[in-house]
Structure 1
Amino acid sequence: MTTAEKTTQAPTGPILRLTDLGVTFTTETGDVPAVRGVRLDIAPGETLALVGESGSGKSTVALAAMGLLPGNARATGSAAVGGRELIGTPEAELAGLRGRAASMVFQEPATALDPLTRIGAQIAEVIRNHRTLPAREAAREAVELLRRVGIPDPEQRATAFPFQLSGGQRQRVVIAMAIANSPSLLIADEPTTALDVTVQAEILDLLRSLAADAGTGVLLVTHNMGVVADFADRVAVMLEGEIVETGTVEEVLLRPRHAYTKRLLGAVPRLAVAEPGAAPAGAGETPPAGDEVVGLREVSVRFGRGPRAVQALSDVTLTVHAGETVGLVGESGSGKSTAARVALGLVQPSAGSVSLFGTDLRRSRGRARRALLAGVGVVLQDPVASLDARMSVAECVAEPLYVHRGRMTSAERRARVEDVLERVRLPRALANRAPRELSGGQRQRVSLARALVLEPRLLVADEPTSALDVSVQAAVLEVVSELQDEFGFACLFVSHDLAVVQHFAQRVVVMRAGRVEERGSTATTLLHPGTDYTRRLVAAVPVPDPVLQRRRRAARQEAPAAGRTAAGE
């Protein structure tokens, strides 16, 4: 789409101007102020990152800038997009501005896409909502937008349903919908949180080029300081509804002034990068001394039959020993989560063997298998999906005790639940609350308490911190480390965050297309990768230093693209 096709004339002043913005929510217990006195400007082609912990008000600011505040919210002050005031504007007029003057890219594309409608039709609908075009012409524009955002075979993908695309491709589709009518302002709310590092790098490159080509202003809401360093021009830091610091990305990330900003940056896990020409360290390390807790040997997994069958794992060998943490990393679709499910006995391998605590898991049945699996705790990425919303926190944590420790008295169960909640640093006062009444970090600690209530010998953690703020993430990982030191359990840690893996795991296994690409000590493998694929993974990780990140991005973009997968996959 050319500049001449834009439906509105580009504003000469700020794309977004917030002046003394305040937002108050009316609740059953009274009015709750969420945002106070926020002042922000975003110029054409500029990216402003809005950062802060959960509950700081940054997402509320983003919703106010789109006129999407819920019915129980009362906004004061001014929020203007392209000179057009949003506060007090009737909903019918706001609907005409959304997608045209301003668009939004959400964290989870699955919530923004209709699972029953083909991709091309969804993009065409966005186009026709704001422009009078024949259906055939809108469909052609939808295909061109898919091509513009880097979707391979756009004609074919336009006929696909969302579930037939990878996570990175779905996020590109959401971006295509957001830019369909050439908005002046693009609001991106955690647009890369659930993506692996290589897809994240591609999405950031895409957003960067779109902002440069069309002069689009971008409001980036994120807790990933590496993404901020890679993408933002300026940064605003929010704390308890107020902006406590603003400045260029270099000023805020390299020379922070406010104590809260310093504390926030201090919690960021930083990927250590080897100096050019440095010799590999840690070569020849001895294997773990503890007993083997779980072992996969030449395991293959094949889903389906016939020509449509998918080979998820091929000859994967993986071991985890008592007291150690093994990081399992790789791009989406690499097979790392499937390998974790095999270790949990949730997926039966089509070939190879699986041992758990020295016992062949495939041969165990009934009560014996149940006793084996009682020694395994699981922490998932989304605690909301793993905690029963109808139960209290105490009931959620106690449930495994009912299943595996049926002879315990109610007093013994209550004492055990209180003890494990205390160990994960949750106040006893939260025990009777529902999971929905807790913050994201608190819910993840409840999941951890539930996983540890049986004192397992193995903890399997599948992306347990990817959706958490950096300070909450650091606190959760600190709790896991302390409990691991105390109980000596093994941990299989599945993650796409290489910086977290580098700080948390002793060994790392890199997976690609269902196979083990590389393995070794974390220090050796991530500092001095032995394969091009691992080097590409490490190079794609943004670091929270804008000067260093610019050099890393330039080096990554100049590197040969051999071995890269299709865009977004």
Structure 2
Amino acid sequence: MTAADPSATAVVEPILEVEDLGVTFSTETGEVSAVRGVSLHVRPGETLALVGESGSGKSTVALAAMGLLPGNARATGRAAIGGTDVVASCESELAGLRGRTVSMVFQEPATALDPLARIGAQIAEVVRNHRSVSAGEARQEAVALLRRVGIPDPEQRASAFPFQLSGGQRQRVVIAMAIANNPSLLIADEPTTALDVTVQAEILDLLRRLAVDAGTGVLLVTHNMGVVADFADRVAVMLQGRIVESGPVEQVLLRPTHDYTKRLLAAVPRLAVTEYTAVPTDTADPPPPEEPVVDLRDVSVLFGRGRRAVRALDGISFAVHPGETVALVGESGSGKSTAARVALGLVQPTSGTVSLFGSDLRRTRSRARRALRSGIGVVLQDPVASLDARMSVAECIAEPLHVHRRGLPPRERRARVADALDHVRLPRHLADRAPRELSGGQRQRVSLARALVLEPRLLVTDEPTSALDVSVQEAVLEVISELQDELGFACLFVSHDLAVVQQFAERVVVMRAGRIEEQGLTTQTLLRPGTDYTCRLLAAVPVPDPVLQRQRRAEQQTARTTDGPGVTA
């Protein structure tokens, strides 16, 4: 984004103005101060990025600005949107403000979408809540919004339920709902967390056009420094509820002054820079000598019947061997999560064979299949959906022990839970809390602890670091690597973060529209890709350097203009 002219912004009143904001939570153990004396502003047409580690208070600031703090929270200071002080306003006043003047894109789409309502109806409801339009006009606008945020076949997808869409597609639906009424301020809490790099670039272009064309101010809450470099005008860095450094994006990212900011930037995984030109190769990597832990051969999956049938997988083959990490990468809807579910035995293939620990899953009886699954740990993309809200953290982590090892004494179960919390760098005192009391990144680490508690032979992870800030992400990947070296388990790693994949995986499988585009050693596939599709994926990865990122964005826009439309999901 091009920053607004300083001479113009000097006289434009902020659309969001936060002064000396404090937020305190009342808990069973006493009061916890989450935000302390935060002051910031966002003017029309500009983007302020709020960055910091999980638990730093950045999402709490966003919720306070929307007036959406939970009942046990108490806010002090001032948070004004368009001149209306949110802290001092009643709920009826805020109801007219939300969705019209200010909208929010939440971090976890599962909590923002009604699982029992079709997505077109949910978007249409947002439109009709603030505008006098007919039901038919609202539905047409819902379809147009789905098309605007890059959902394929928007007319058909408008009739789908949230569970029928991929994680990235659900996030785009949430963004469509947020921009439905052209708000003056958009608060985006990790808006690209669940999106692959190409769709992420498209969504950032969309938000950039909103800011420039409609004059929408954006408060961006994120841990992705590449997104900050690509999208923000200014940056505010939070630590333990306070802003420790702020300024123009180039100053903060290229010339940081605070030690904490320097540590954050040092932890950012960086994709190795190369010329992304396809280099076809006919040589295949020889498979490791060990028998595969999981082996998919010519697997196809068809959902639905007749003309509405969708081919999610089309004749894919790959294997994961003991002690190695294989990454499945590709755009949202490419089939990588479906492939992982096939490997787990949760989705039955329409054709082909699936071998798990040497056993053909189709020929394995239910009791034997359950025994096989006890050797698998799973980390799903959405920790809110995968953790039982009625359980404590300790109960969530111990659940696999109850299911698969019923005779384990309670004392040993508690010791296993404590060790699992240590492994994922979470303090043991969190064991008695409910998942809702934790930040998004902390909940994801609880999911990882639960997956590791059985010491699995295979760990299947679906976007395991998408909700984590860069420093915690680095720590969690180190934990997985250390435990993999110690226990020798295999890892099937589903991700859209190519920089993390390059750092973490030995082999990579690139998927597109249910098929495998190419696969091989990570060092070869990501540094010397064999297809134009992989080249475009790599070129779309944002880098945490605003100067370089502007240059890359200009090159991508030139390429799209010259070559026509790029990759679509």
**1:559 alignment counterpart:** 559
**Residue deviations 1:162-213, cap 9 Å, x none?**
5666655554554444344443222112111112222111111100011111
Offset, 1:284: 7.8
Residues 436-461 of structure 1 show CA distances to partners (whole Å, capped at 9, x for unaligned) of 45554444444333333333221111
Q: Which residue of 2 aligns with 1:5?
A: none
Residue equivalent to 2:4: none
Is the alpha carbon distance of 1:35 and 1:293 closer, same or farther for their aligned partners in structure 2, counting shifts above 3 Å?
A: same
Once the two structures are superposed, what CA deviation does each residue of 1:482-539 show, in whole Å capped at 9, x if it has no partner?
A: 0011111111111111111111001000111111111011111112221111112112
Per mean C-alpha deviation after superposition, the further-off stretch among 375-384 and 175-184 is: 175-184
Alpha-carbon contact 2:533-2:567 (below 8 Å) kept: no
Q: How far, CA to CA, are the matches of 1:118 and 1:486 in structure 2?
A: 46
Asked if structure 2 preserves the Cα contact closer than 8 Å seen for 1:387 and 1:396, the reply is yes
Aligned equivalent of 1:231: 231
Q: Which AA in structure 2 matches 1:266?
A: A
The alpha-carbon distance between structure 1 residues 113 and 342, as it changes in their structure 2 partners (threshold 3 A), is closer
> Is the Cα contact below 8 Å between 1:290 and 1:323 reproduced in 2?
no
Cα gap change, 1:399/1:532 in structure 2, threshold over 3 Å: closer, same or farther? same
Provide the secondary structure at the position in 1 that maps to 2:533.
helix
Q: Single out whichever of 76-85 and 401-410 deviates more from structure 2.
A: 401-410
* 1:414-437 CA distance string (max 9 Å, x none): 555555554444555555555445
Moved more, 453-462 or 408-417: 408-417
* Displacement of 1:393: 4.3
Higher alpha-carbon Rg: 1
Aligned residue runs from structure 1 range 124-523, under 5 A: 125-131=125-131, 149=149, 170-275=170-275, 287-406=287-406, 408-410=408-410, 413=413, 415-523=415-523
**Residues 533, 563 of structure 1: 8 Å contact kept:** no
Contact 1:424 1:449 in 2 (8 A): yes
Report the AA paired with residue 67 of structure 2: G
Q: Which deviates further from its counterpart, 239-248 or 301-310? A: 301-310
1:339–1:118 Cα change, 3 Å: closer
- Greater Cα shift, 290-299 or 316-325: 290-299
TM-aligned CA distance change 1:262 to 1:436, over 3 Å = same
Whichever residue aligns with residue 525 of structure 1, its letter is T
Native 8 Å contact 2:278 2:531 kept in 1: no
Partner SS state of residue 195, structure 2: coil
Query: CA contact under 8 A between 2:47 and 2:232: conserved in structure 1?
Result: yes
For 2:510 and 2:382, locate their aligned partners in 1 and report how far apart those are by CA, in whole Å.
Answer: 23
Confirm or deny: 8 A CA contact 2:280 2:531 kept in the other structure: no
Q: Indicate how the Cα distance of structure 1 residues 386 and 285 shifts in structure 2: closer, same or farther if over 3 A, else same.
A: same
Contact residue 277 and residue 532 of structure 2 kept, 8 A: no
How far apart are the structure 2 equivalents of 1:132 and 1:207?
A: 25
Q: Percent identity?
A: 78
Distance 2:278 2:157 in 1: 45
Q: Which residue of 2 aligns with 1:16?
A: 16
CA distance in 2, matches of 1:375, 1:459: 9
- SS of 1:292's partner is coil
* Counterparts in 2 of 1:277 and 1:173: CA distance versus 1, 3 Å: closer
Quote the residue 1:7 is aligned against.
Answer: none
Q: Secondary structure at the match of 1:209?
A: helix
In 2: Cα distance, 1:435 partner to 1:307 partner: 42
Question: 8 Å contact 1:47–1:218 — kept in the other structure?
Answer: yes
Most deviating of 352-361 and 509-518: 352-361
Which 10-residue stretch deviates more, 431-440 or 506-515? 431-440
Which sits farther off after the overlay, 216-225 or 434-443?
434-443
How far is the alpha carbon of 1:404 from its aligned partner?
A: 3.6
CA distance in 1, matches of 2:265, 2:397: 32
Change in CA separation of 1:280 and 1:270 when aligned onto 2, cut-off 3 Å: farther
Instruction: Give distance in 1, aligned partners of 2:123 and 2:418.
Output: 51
Instruction: Look up the match of 2:36.
Output: 36
| Alpha-carbon separation, structure 1, partners of 2:222 and 2:257 | 20
Name the counterpart of 1:540.
540
C-alpha contact 1:441 1:476 (8 A) present in aligned 2: no
Contact 2:236 2:246 in 1 (8 A): yes
Q: 1:35 corresponds to which letter in structure 2? A: V
Letter in 1 for 2:299: V
**How large is the RMSD of aligned CA atoms in angstroms?**
3.3
Q: Name the CA distance, whole Å, in 1 between partners of 2:271 and 2:408.
A: 45
**SS of aligned partner of 2:511:** strand
Amino acid at match of 2:501: V
Secondary structure, counterpart of 2:256 in structure 1 = coil
d(CA) in 1 for partners of 2:279, 2:160: 48
Q: 2:442 and 2:180 mapped to 1: Cα distance?
A: 39
Distance in 1 of aligned mates of 2:154 and 2:50? 33
Task: Give the drift of 1:304.
Answer: 2.9
- Counterpart-to-counterpart distance in 2, 1:343 and 1:153: 28
Q: Which residue of 2 aligns with 1:99?
A: 99
Shift of the alpha carbon at 1:312? 1.7
1:121 and 1:200 map into 2 onto residues whose CA distance is: 25
Structure 2 counterpart of 1:531, one-letter code: T
Relative distance call for 1:47 and 1:344 in structure 2 (3 A) is same
- Which consecutive residues of structure 2, in runs of 5 or more, have no partner in the other structure? 1-10
- Which secondary structure does the structure 2 equivalent of 1:468 belong to? coil
Give the superposition deviation at 1:43: 2.2
Write the distance in 2 (CA, Å) between the matches of 1:135 and 1:277. 49
Shift of 1:324: 0.8
Aligned residue in 1 for 2:6:
none
In structure 1, how many angstroms separate the alpha carbons of the residues matched to 2:517 and 2:279?
A: 21
Whichever residue aligns with residue 504 of structure 2, its letter is F
Which residue is 1:528 aligned to?
A: 528
Which residue of structure 2 aligns with residue 79 of structure 1? 79
Q: Taking structure 1 as reference, are residues 325 and 363 closer, same or farther at Cα in structure 2, changes over 3 Å only? A: same
- Per-residue CA distance 1:351-377 (angstroms, 9 max, x = gap): 222222233232222444333333222
Which stretch shifts more, 230-239 or 121-130?
Answer: 121-130
How many aligned positions are there?
A: 556
| Alpha-carbon separation, structure 1, partners of 2:265 and 2:467 | 17
What letter is aligned with 2:531? Answer: T
CA separation in 1, counterparts of 2:159 and 2:394?
A: 47
Quote the Cα distance in structure 1 between the aligned partners of 2:415 and 2:31: 37
1:26 to partner: Cα distance: 3.8
Q: Which amino acid aligns with 1:102?
A: V
